[in-house]
């Protein structure tokens, strides 16, 4: 069913390069429209309309996150696409036509999924309650944060006004805030009483720099940061133009590599999920990369996550993003650990890496290295790169995190305009949208590659980037909510306006408080959207179910094991 969609330029409301819906559709209907748009524009995705018609969206008609950006609509559409590919995989393995299956996505659940890293319950208490009690850090036997988020470091990742008062800059501490600040000549041996004082201290220094000076400084020092572009301004940059040449769901058959045969999908006794028996190894941190793996795990993949305990990460994220996985500790600078890693890689189907684009090439773990491995073993591989700026262009090898995607794409600018701030002040989107969207896009592309490997053979390269994920929700074909809808949503949920000094988790907790008011019961332990593990490493744990529901319980995505801490299992574990 096609829904008409018209937009009007949003230049005077949200800035140049924005487009506002003339008529606002109910969220499930709008998601159907966006699903069909993305399905039609994604190379390799089925164009069989009978299969599209197996997809169903349900949920409340009104939006449920702050701001005009339709990230829950986009997320729900992408999850539905994963469901379609899941049914195609079941067809290849079990000979049940995909057109005879079904895919159901709850659009409210997709919205909550964007913030699900902070919606879990541990032994009857949810994360906001544990955080307010001051006991969050007591959950973790090992502290991976290494001082992140304390003192001055707590405001090294924030949006700052530059020497040009109408241009704001996303500074990023990259889990090593003191190094970042010291390169700027900022004395880090200071102590204040409140986060706002730390922010004001850094702001005083940043205001002495022009946007271009900050940009060149970060390029020169290999640091992370971005001008907060307007959407139109980003699209006109050389990097924006280069990124726009690529599809959002970006995977390619590496036809130049030595051919490898078709790889039938394995049949695992007692497990009919679409990816049962597929081996996935991930070397990732923070949110986007782990979201790829946790999504594949829900669809049945055997996922082993490799971390190095010397590298910092955010403790909280283990509570959700390690569901259905096993995790081990390897330091690949040590020959024995690298040898152990190569033993695991020898039979892997999907390799996910979230380090700076090209950095693993120097370790012999790049795409070409894996293609050589695939040729030597006679079995193709799916190599997944998760990065900030995409596969090529002048910024391709620059580091970047979620906030950089938000700043570069124009999302932070649009959010600031929607709140009516002066001086073109920018603020983060209300959820880790680019991280989570990058994750589901990467998972979707990896599933399509596994499907194609089963049919055609060969190896595949997946690239999922943060800026592209943000760009997707700013497309004219997606549209933005009008300002009156934004204000009505904020009033209904009691959302607190966010500010440039806030870190994403601080904003997320505010949004969760709004959800409890506007969608009572949705986040409770006994909510039908939740699933519970009675005995996990943290005790009884409840977390949001996978978003996709297929027609049969046996094939529907689910996690069979509770989340575990990073570096939890014996390093000598083997594939199931």
Predicted confidence (pLDDT) per residue in 78-132, tens digit:
999 999 999 999 999 999 999 999 999 999 999 999 999 999 999 999 999 999 9
Query: pLDDT category, 348, cuts 50, 70, 90?
Result: very high
Between 433-456 and 402-409, two packed helices, what is the crossing angle to 10 degrees?
A: 100
How far apart, in whole angstroms, are the C-alpha atoms of residue 362 and residue 358?
A: 8
Query: What are the two backbone dihedrals, phi and then psi, of residue 280, each rounded to the nearest 5 degrees?
Result: -125, 130
CA contacts within 13 A on the Cβ side of 272: 15
Which token pair is 429? 């989107």
Specify the pLDDT at position 231.
98
pLDDT greater than 90 at residue 3: no
pTM tops 0.95? yes
Pick the CATH number of 151-239+400-409 from 2.30.30, 1.10.3470, 3.30.1540, 3.30.1050: 3.30.1540
So what's the pLDDT on residue 241? 96
Tell me, what's the pLDDT at 9? Answer: 97
Give backbone dihedrals phi and psi of 303, rounded to 5 degrees, phi first.
-110, 125
Does 176 have pLDDT greater than 90?
A: no
Residue 461 clears pLDDT 70, i.e. is over it: yes
At residue 2 the predicted structure's pLDDT band, cuts being 50, 70 and 90, is low
Mean pLDDT of 174-201: 93
Look at domain 242-393+437-466 and name its CATH class: alpha beta
pLDDT tier at 145, thresholds 50, 70, 90: confident
End-to-end CA distance of the chain: 42
pLDDT, tens digit, 9 for 90 and up, residues 27-65: 999 999 999 999 999 999 999 999 999 999 999 999 999
pLDDT-derived band at 1 (thresholds 50, 70, 90) equals low
Banded model confidence at residue 204, pLDDT cuts 50, 70, 90: very high
**Structural domain spans, the chain:** 151-239+400-409, 242-393+437-466
Q: Is the pLDDT of residue 148 over 90?
A: no
Q: Which helix (H) or strand (E) holds 307?
A: strand 302-307
Cβ-based neighbours of 566, under 8 Å, separated by 6 or more: 142, 144, 305, 307, 309, 313, 318, 322, 327, 329
pLDDT of residue 325: 98
Is the CB of residue 453 less than 8 Å from the CB of residue 263?
A: yes
C-alpha pair distances (Å), 430 with each of 4, 111, 171, 496, 514: 28, 11, 18, 10, 11
Cβ atoms within 10 Å, residue 179: 14
Question: What is the per-residue burial (b if ≥16 Cβ within 10 Å, else e) of 500-535?
Answer: bbbbbbbbbbbbbebbbebbeebbeeebebbbebee
Interval 13-24 mean pLDDT = 97
Coil, strand or helix: which one is 171? strand
Neighbours of 128 (CB within 10 A): 18
Position 312 confidence tier, pLDDT thresholds 50, 70, 90: confident
Residue 16, SS3 per DSSP? coil
pLDDT on residue 133: 94
Q: Which of 429, 159, 469 is nearest to 291 (CA)?
A: 469
DSSP code, position 574: -
Closest CA to 64 of 471, 498, 485: 485
**Among the ranges given (144-148, 235-239, 475-479), the one the predictor scored with the smallest mean pLDDT:** 144-148
Least confident window among 11-15, 352-356, 440-444, 521-525: 352-356
Which residues does residue 160 pair with via DSSP β-bridges, in sequence order? 169
Alpha carbon distance 334, 363 (integer Å): 11
- Quick check: 520 pLDDT over 70? yes
pLDDT band at 358 (very low <50, low <70, confident <90, very high): confident
């Amino acid at each position: 069913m096609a829904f008409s969609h018209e937009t009007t330029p949003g230049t005077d409301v949200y800035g140049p390069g924005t487009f506002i819906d003339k008529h606002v559709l109910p969220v499930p209907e709008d998601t159907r429209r966006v699903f069909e748009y993305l399905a039609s524009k994604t190379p390799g995705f089925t164009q069989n309309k009978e299969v599209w018609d197996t997809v169903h969206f349900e949920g409340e008609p009104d939006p449920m996150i702050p701001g005009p950006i339709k990230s829950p609509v986009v997320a729900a559409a992408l999850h539905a696409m994963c469901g379609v590919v899941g049914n195609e995989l079941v067809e290849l393995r079990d000979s049940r036509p995909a057109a005879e299956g079904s895919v159901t996505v709850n659009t409210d659940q997709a919205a909550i999924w964007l913030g699900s890293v902070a919606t879990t319950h541990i032994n009857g208490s949810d994360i906001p309650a544990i955080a307010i009690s001051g006991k969050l850090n007591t959950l973790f036997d090992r502290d991976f944060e290494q001082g992140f988020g304390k003192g001055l470091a707590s405001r090294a990742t924030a949006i700052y006004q530059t020497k040009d008062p109408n241009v704001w800059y996303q500074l990023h501490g990259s889990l090593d805030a003191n190094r970042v600040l010291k390169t700027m000549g900022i004395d880090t041996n200071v102590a204040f009483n409140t986060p706002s004082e730390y922010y004001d201290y850094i702001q005083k220094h940043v205001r002495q720099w022009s946007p271009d000076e900050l940009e060149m400084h970060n390029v020169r020092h290999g640091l992370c940061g971005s001008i907060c572009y307007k959407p139109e301004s980003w699209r006109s940059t050389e990097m924006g133009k280069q990124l726009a040449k690529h599809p959002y769901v970006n995977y390619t058959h590496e036809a130049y590599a030595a051919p490898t045969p078709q790889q039938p999908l394995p049949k695992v006794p007692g497990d009919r999920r679409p990816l049962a028996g597929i081996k996935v190894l991930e070397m990732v941190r923070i949110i986007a990369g782990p979201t790829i793996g946790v999504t594949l795990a829900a669809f049945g993949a055997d996922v082993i996550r490799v971390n190095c305990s010397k590298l910092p990460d955010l403790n909280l994220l283990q509570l959700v993003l390690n569901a259905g996985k096993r995790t081990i500790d390897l330091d690949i600078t040590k020959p024995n650990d690298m040898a152990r890693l190569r033993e695991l890689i020898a039979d892997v189907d999907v390799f996910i890496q979230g380090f700076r684009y090209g950095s693993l090439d120097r370790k012999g773990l790049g795409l070409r290295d894996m293609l050589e491995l695939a040729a030597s073993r006679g079995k193709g591989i799916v190599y997944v790169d998760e990065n900030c700026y995409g596969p090529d262009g002048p910024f391709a090898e620059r580091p970047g995190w979620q906030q950089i995607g938000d700043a570069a794409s124009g999302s932070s600018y649009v959010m600031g305009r929607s709140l009516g701030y002066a001086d073109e002040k920018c603020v983060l989107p209300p959820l880790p949208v680019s991280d989570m969207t990058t994750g589901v896009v990467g998972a979707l592309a990896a599933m399509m590659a596994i499907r194609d490997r089963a049919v055609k053979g060969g190896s595949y390269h997946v690239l999922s980037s943060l800026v592209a994920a943000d760009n997707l929700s700013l497309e004219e074909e997606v549209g933005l909510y009008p300002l009156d809808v934004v204000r009505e949503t904020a009033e209904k949920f009691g959302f607190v306006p966010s500010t440039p000094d806030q870190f994403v988790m601080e904003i997320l907790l505010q949004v969760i408080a709004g959800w409890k008011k506007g969608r009572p019961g949705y986040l409770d332990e006994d909510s039908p959207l939740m699933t519970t593990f009675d005995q996990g490493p943290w005790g009884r744990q409840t977390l949001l179910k996978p978003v996709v529901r297929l027609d049969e319980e046996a094939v529907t995505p689910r996690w069979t094991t509770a989340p575990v801490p990073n570096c939890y299992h014996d390093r000598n574990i083997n594939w199931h």
